[in-house]
Amino acid sequence: MTSAAITAEGLRKRYGDVQAVDGVTFEVRSGEFYGILGPNGAGKTTTLEIIEGLREPDSGTARMLGRPSWPRDRRLLRRIGVQLQASAFFEKLTAREQIRTFASLYGVPAARADAMLETVGLAEKAGVRDDRLSGGQQQRLSIACALVHDPELVFLDEPTTGLDPQARRNLWDLLRAINAEGRTVVLTTHYMDEAEALCDRVAVMDHGKILRVGPPAELIRELGVASLEDVFLQLTGREYRE
């Protein structure tokens, strides 16, 4: 039996009048590549923040790697990687300084940080300041920073938004490699082709609820449509576009 990397049961979170998360239950298996899809405001980020232990739910429980997400558990932090947006970088550091700073927070040797830069194809840019890297290079740096302490479970929030097609493909290869090493990957994305190409299973969310979960090919077959884009349209009644 495969163990669960994440379990979420009956999660609810309200901000004022907005019921952002409205009874979310799902499980991510260990080693799985799992996608959370939904239009803007569907509740994806709030759900992930609850699971990551960054936000307390109003009700329900979340567990990562067999331990409760809340209250925040320092032992879990070492075992998970959360990709931060490039805007969360320390200011005016080179790529190498940036990742070495993250590494030192975890007591990881600088050599391992440099090796991570190599893994994401940024060795040549090690001496370049982060604000002078291209969008794709910044995304790869943020993923490298999330992986530097060798986490078992990795959260990526729209990792390829704003990248050109070639940079997206390169990043897909990197994400596949991360998963092939045995890491569990949880991804939110605005691109249906990306979810179809990468995810073992996807959960489609809207209005704070999960509407459907399954492997992309199975959802496409079940609903009798041509693509995941059509699945999304049929379930949410909306185009998956900003």
Ligand X SMILES: Nc1ncnc2c1ncn2[C@@H]1O[C@H](COP(=O)(O)OP(=O)(O)OP(=O)(O)O)[C@@H](O)[C@H]1O
Enumerate binding residues for ligand X (CB under 6 A).
Answer: 15, 18, 20, 38, 40-46
Q: How far, in Å, CA of 42 to CA of 36, rounded?
A: 10
Taking the complex as a whole, how short is the minimal distance between the CB of residue 6 and ligand X, in angstroms? 17
H or E stretch including 116? helix 110-119
Taking the complex as a whole, how short is the minimal distance between the CB of residue 43 and ligand X, in angstroms? 4
49 vs 149 by CB, closer to ligand X? 49
Nearest Cα to Cα of residue 129 among 94, 86, 91, 87: 94
H or E stretch including 4? strand 4-15
Taking the complex as a whole, how short is the minimal distance between the CB of residue 123 and ligand X, in angstroms? 32
81 vs 208 by CB, closer to ligand X? 208
Taking the complex as a whole, how short is the minimal distance between the CB of residue 49 and ligand X, in angstroms? 8
- 82, two tokens: 């959360």
Taking the complex as a whole, how short is the minimal distance between the CB of residue 48 and ligand X, in angstroms? 8
181 vs 239 by CB, closer to ligand X? 239
Left, alpha or beta for 227 (phi > 0: left; psi -120 to 50: alpha)? beta
Q: How many CB atoms lie within 10 A of CB 234?
A: 15
Q: How far, in Å, CA of 183 to CA of 189, rounded?
A: 18
17 vs 91 by CB, closer to ligand X? 17
16 vs 165 by CB, closer to ligand X? 16
